[in-house]
């Protein structure tokens, strides 16, 4: 969230919004992360060496050594290279929104991997860089405004950030990487637990009436413990989105579990592309149909992050839309984007929250309450900096709307408060929320598709593999009657299987064997895939190879050495040219169930 300004933030003033980032208030200002700090080298240098991992950066980039400045806020709204492990992040100002190309270099160890946002890509053994295809910012590994690279030859985890428009710049920095004599190898710690393996906490924020705060970066657990003496019992934390300005080195599943166990209520925030009429670098479309689909994609990203952190179904996730000019076109795009966001969250079994300024987003929601054209959120979180700790929004939101435990008001913008001997820069909020009942998740949105082995399915088979097969059949255009997938291989499902088998040239049996699994799992687009590729198509290939040959691949959407080896094995066993590349012939073989 941002401090009040004309049109471009979660503002106060004329647009009555603030920014979702932020106990007695101190008269002194917090440490400004944009103040000059000691740098590793002079302003003219283009070379940065961290633990033997060497990169070339533009001369205008700041270089901040976090060992020398542990109080510095890791924020990416100005191009910066941060070296080392972030501190408690208490000084991160609440007016930070958006990001530009930047880099965080940390030791490769279990603590940094625990805070990673997925399984990092890996540099090639003995080198500082991955396969060149992995450095394509359009790839899925460049998820949610970031790219994580494990450089085992130097024992470094490199986190590159971007805003969706400047990925090429940071990719070029990563391409420049080399190793120096200071490099000390360190193996990548075990992979982070999958979302399914993380124990979910109670749905957040649940039922609560009282004060809360939000901060740009999640404070350390020790800071949260100190703040138990504050008047606040809820905290807003940025869990996802390519417009997050601050690093989240403290935010892990263990952090979430610890805070909830200490009776903190959490308000998970996603800040992605902004309204098309703003001046942010990352914006969603002014075309309502496109904006809605972009809202769906943002919801998928937010849910993946929530599950990784142990925030499960029933939790409200708040979409942060900074203040904007209320024109017909812009307001329509925001409403459509929020509709896609809300509908997709409901399909995942989550509640939808929406944050914006009173004078823009909240007013648009108010004016369209009860709409049959748009699907509006379950919770409204509005910024109106009038200093009153309540959920009254004056003229911006009518009293009878979102009135059943569905409101949060940010009533004061960035301020530094000190409690328990710890100072944090925050925005002040008041919550009146009640645990809701989200719709039942759509089984084909939440269906598990990844199995260590894909079992043969015959009449009467039940369970998750059957649901997966039914969802894959539905995606391929085969209907099995009304309603959701039954999870049972019944006659309507077997009829759909027979239709699919006939379509792809398999023996028509109605049973799902390894050949049928292979064809179902690989169905879809057929892009050329090779070492370094990433994305959904790679995941489809990995699943199909597991079904076809029990390849034992981790389905991570990253085309690395193990996937290349499995492709070569498949090509050899099917009499194809062996090159480790998934091209037209390999796709054709997979999609025909060979």
pLDDT of residue 188 exceeding 90: no
pLDDT of residue 467 exceeding 90: yes
Residue 245 shares a structural domain with residue 377: yes
Residue 315 resides in a domain = yes
Read off the CATH number of the domain in which 557 is found.
1.10.101.10
Residue 50 shares a structural domain with residue 159: yes
Residue after which a domain boundary falls, among 179, 200, 230: 179
Residue 389 shares a structural domain with residue 280: yes
**428 has which bridge partners?**
213, 412
Residue 200 resides in a domain = no
Residue after which a domain boundary falls, among 136, 164, 179: 179
Residue 536 resides in a domain = yes
Longest dimension (CA), the chain: 77
Per-residue 3-state assignment (H helix, E strand, C coil) for 271-308: CCCECCCCCCCCECCCCHHHHHHHHHHHHHHHHHHHHH
Residue 313 resides in a domain = yes
Give the per-residue pLDDT at 190.
66
Beta carbons of 381 and 408 less than 8 angstroms apart: yes
Considering only residues 94 and 351, tell me which one the structure prediction assigns the higher pLDDT. Answer: 351
pLDDT of residue 58 exceeding 80: yes
Domain count, the chain: 3
Give the per-residue pLDDT at 197.
56
Residue 163 shares a structural domain with residue 222: no
Considering only residues 19 and 123, tell me which one the structure prediction assigns the higher pLDDT. Answer: 123
Residue 234 shares a structural domain with residue 374: yes
Residue 228 shares a structural domain with residue 335: yes
Regarding beta strands 47-50 and 24-25, do their DSSP bridges make them parallel or antiparallel, or are they unpaired? unpaired
Overall pTM > 0.85: no
Residue 323 shares a structural domain with residue 392: yes
Read off the CATH number of the domain in which 344 is found.
3.20.20.80
Tens of pLDDT, residue by residue over 38-54, are 334 444 558 999 999 99
Mean pLDDT of the chain: 88
> For 89, left (φ over 0), alpha (ψ -120 to 50), or beta?
left
Q: Distance from first CA to last CA of the chain, Å, rounded?
A: 53
Task: Give the residue among 157, 232, 231, 212 at the shortest CA–CA distance from 188.
Answer: 157
Residue 139 shares a structural domain with residue 231: no
Per-residue 3-state assignment (H helix, E strand, C coil) for 316-373: EEEEECCCCCCCHHHHHHHHHHHHHHHHHHHHHCCEEEEEEEHHHHHHHHHHCCCCCC
Phi then psi for residue 564, to 5 deg, are -60, -40
Residue 253 resides in a domain = yes
pLDDT of residue 191 exceeding 70: no
Residue after which a domain boundary falls, among 179, 195, 229: 179
Query: Which domain does 393 fall in, by range?
Result: 208-433
Residue 161 shares a structural domain with residue 213: no
Residue 191 resides in a domain = no
pLDDT of residue 403 exceeding 50: yes
Residue 150 shares a structural domain with residue 256: no
pLDDT of residue 34 exceeding 50: no
Residue 225 shares a structural domain with residue 142: no
Residue 2 resides in a domain = no
Residue 241 shares a structural domain with residue 388: yes
Residue 109 resides in a domain = yes
pLDDT of residue 223 exceeding 50: yes
pLDDT of residue 16 exceeding 50: no
């Amino acid at each position: 969230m941002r401090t009040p300004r004309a049109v471009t933030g979660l503002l106060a003033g004329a647009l009555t919004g603030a920014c979702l980032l932020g106990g007695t208030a101190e008269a002194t200002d917090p440490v400004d992360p944009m103040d000059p700090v000691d740098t590793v080298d002079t302003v003219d240098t283009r070379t940065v060496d961290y633990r033997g991992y060497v990169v070339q950066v533009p001369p205008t980039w700041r270089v901040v050594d976090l060992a020398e400045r542990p109080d510095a806020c890791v924020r990416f709204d100005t191009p910066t290279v941060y070296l080392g492990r972030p501190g408690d992040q208490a000084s991160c100002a609440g007016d930070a929104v958006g990001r530009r190309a930047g880099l965080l270099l940390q030791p490769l160890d279990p603590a940094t991997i625990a805070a990673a946002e997925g399984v990092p890509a890996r540099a090639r053994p003995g080198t500082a860089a991955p396969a060149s295809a992995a450095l394509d910012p359009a790839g899925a590994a460049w998820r949610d405004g970031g790219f994580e690279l494990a450089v085992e030859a130097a024992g470094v985890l490199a986190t590159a950030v971007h805003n969706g428009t400047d990925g090429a710049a940071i990719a070029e920095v990563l391409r420049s990487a080399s190793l120096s004599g200071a490099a000390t190898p360190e193996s990548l710690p075990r992979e982070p637990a999958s979302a399914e393996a993380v124990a979910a906490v109670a749905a957040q924020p649940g039922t609560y009436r009282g004060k809360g705060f939000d901060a740009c970066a999640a404070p350390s657990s020790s800071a949260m413990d100190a703040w138990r003496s504050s008047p606040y019992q809820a905290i807003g934390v940025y869990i996802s989105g390519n417009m997050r300005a601050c690093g989240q080195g403290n935010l892990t599943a263990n952090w979430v579990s610890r805070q909830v166990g200490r009776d903190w209520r959490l308000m998970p925030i996603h800040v992605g592309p902004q309204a098309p009429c703003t001046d942010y670098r990352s914006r969603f479309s002014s075309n309502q149909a496109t904006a809605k689909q972009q809202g769906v994609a943002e919801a998928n990203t937010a849910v993946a992050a929530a599950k990784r952190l142990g925030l499960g179904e029933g939790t409200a996730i708040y979409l942060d839309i900074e203040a904007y000019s209320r024109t017909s076109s812009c307001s329509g795009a925001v409403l459509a984007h929020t509709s896609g966001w809300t509908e997709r969250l409901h399909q995942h079994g989550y509640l939808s929250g929406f944050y914006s300024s009173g004078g823009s987003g909240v007013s648009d929601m108010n004016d369209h309450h009860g709409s049959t054209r748009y699907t509006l959120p379950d919770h409204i979180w509005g910024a109106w900096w009038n200093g009153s700790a309540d959920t009254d929004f004056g003229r911006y939101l009518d009293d009878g709307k979102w009135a059943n435990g569905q409101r949060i008001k940010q009533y004061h913008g960035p301020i530094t408060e000190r409690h328990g001997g710890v100072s944090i820069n925050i925005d002040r909020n008041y919550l009146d929320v009640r645990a809701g009942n989200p719709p039942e998740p759509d089984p084909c949105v939440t269906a598990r598709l990844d199995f260590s082995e894909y079992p043969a399915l015959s009449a009467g088979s039940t369970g998750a593999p059957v649901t997966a097969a039914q969802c894959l059949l539905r995606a391929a255009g085969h209907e099995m009657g009304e309603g959701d997938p039954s999870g049972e291989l019944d006659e309507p499902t077997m009829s759909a299987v027979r239709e699919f088998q006939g379509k792809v040239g398999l023996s028509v049996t109605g049973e799902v064997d390894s050949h049928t699994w292979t064809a179902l799992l690989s169905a879809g687009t057929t892009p050329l895939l090779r070492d370094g590729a990433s994305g959904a198509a790679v995941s489809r290939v990995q699943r199909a190879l597991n079904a076809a040959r029990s390849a034992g691949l981790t389905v991570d959407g990253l085309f690395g050495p193990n996937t290349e080896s499995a492709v070569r094995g498949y090509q050899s066993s099917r009499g194809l040219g062996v090159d480790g590349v998934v091209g037209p012939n390999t796709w054709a073989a997979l999609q025909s169930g060979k």
